[in-house]
Amino acid sequence: MSDDTTYTPPKVWTWDAESGGRFANINRPIAGATHDKDLPVGKHPLQLYSLATPNGVKVTVMLEELLALGHEGAEYDAWLVNIGEGEQFGSGFVGANPNSKIPAMMDHSGDTPVRVFESGSILVHLAEKFDAFLPKDGAARTEVMNWLFWQMGSAPYLGGGFGHFYAYAPEKWQYPIDRFAMETKRQLDVLDRQLAETTFIAGPDYTIADMAIWAWYGQLVLGRLYDAAEFLDVTSYENVLRWAKDIDARPAVSRGRMVNRAFGELHTQLRERHDAGDFETKTQDKLEPAEE
């Protein structure tokens, strides 16, 4: 498709070809399982099925922060779901999340297992379960929820919009890149103005709103998403950068970023996590020989 080609949509769209781009092999216009595969279940009540994309990182950061606070019940097994290979379409995963998106969690702590899907829902579930990182009531709780849902509604423009057309689409097209770059920068300005007035997103305290927004926008301004930091002039958002660096320095955040990571330097990859000691003994650099 060239820049001077105008697409005329048909009266009825049909799926007759791959859409192109990095994820074309797994994109399809129907839901449901493509194959039978049960989910593995480990020794802990909380079973996470995920990948270290921004949405996955939100939850592993939350779990590691809970453990850092001493909540032993937050111990968890984290199983890698390779979305590039279509593992999210296995029957077990679809049972945990009918939308076939990571992350998904099964909470086995009660008499009946509870499925929890959508990263925001998982964050709220864990916050309420352990009474942490979310005020119980009142204006403070509402403000956290405001920003949590801001992230849920805004990040698709960053990821599925800007990220797709800037980094993953089969060709570079100016119109969608300009459109979504403009929206991404507007969102960064929203955050920058808020963080000029507050230490954390929703006020003086670190909450699930910070975890959710940092996974996307914090990592963006730290240069970890789409190789787009210079293009978006992220250094101009000084308050966002200050906040992003402060959160990045938290030990639990460093650990959370490693869980279910199957890319990057080998010492940063803990593809499965079943025990706190795995960070020292089961990163990928220790499980496979370094390339010479």
Q: Is 243 exposed, middle or buried (0-12, 13-18, 19+ CB in 10 A)?
A: buried
Bridge partners (DSSP) of residue 259 are 270
Over its length of 292 residues, how does the chain's per-residue pLDDT go in tens digits?
445 578 899 999 998 766 666 666 778 899 999 999 999 999 999 999 999 999 999 999 999 999 999 999 999 999 999 999 999 999 999 999 999 999 999 999 999 999 999 999 999 999 999 999 999 999 999 999 999 999 999 999 999 999 999 999 999 999 999 999 999 999 999 999 999 999 999 999 999 999 999 999 999 999 999 999 999 999 999 999 999 999 999 999 999 999 999 999 999 999 999 999 999 999 999 998 654 4
Report the alpha-carbon distance of residue 10 to residue 275 in Å, rounded: 53
Q: pLDDT tens for residues 215-240?
A: 999 999 999 999 999 999 999 999 99
- Per-residue confidence (pLDDT) for residue 2, from 0 to 100: 46
Question: How many residues are there in the chain?
Answer: 292
Can you read off the two tokens belonging to residue 143?
């403000």
- Exposure pattern of 6-21 as b/e (b: 16+ CB <10 Å)? eeeeeeeeeeeeeeee
Report the alpha-carbon distance of residue 177 to residue 172 in Å, rounded: 8
Report the alpha-carbon distance of residue 133 to residue 64 in Å, rounded: 12
Report DSSP letters for 121-188, one per residue. HHHHHHHHHHT-SS-SSHHHHHHHHHHHHHHHHHHHIIIIIIIIIIIISSS--HHHHHHHHHHHHHHH
To the nearest 10°, report the CA torsion of 141, 76, 110, 92.
110
Residue tagged 């070809």 (tokens): 17
Please compute, for residue 166, the number of CA atoms within 13 A of its CA located in the half-sphere on the CB side: 22
- Per-residue confidence (pLDDT) for residue 22, from 0 to 100: 67
Look up residue 236 and give its DSSP letter: G
Among candidates 275, 285, 287, 256, which has minimal Cα distance to 50? 256
Please compute, for residue 87, the number of CA atoms within 13 A of its CA located in the half-sphere on the CB side: 16
Give residue 21's Cα distance to chain centre.
20
In the three-class reduction of DSSP (H, G, I as helix; E, B as strand; rest coil), residue 279 is classed as helix
To the nearest 10°, report the CA torsion of 139, 251, 248, 59.
-60
Can you read off the two tokens belonging to residue 97?
């999340």
Entry pTM: 0.94
> Where is 78: in which H helix or E strand?
strand 76-80
Report the alpha-carbon distance of residue 45 to residue 286 in Å, rounded: 27
Among candidates 76, 77, 101, which has minimal Cα distance to 87? 101
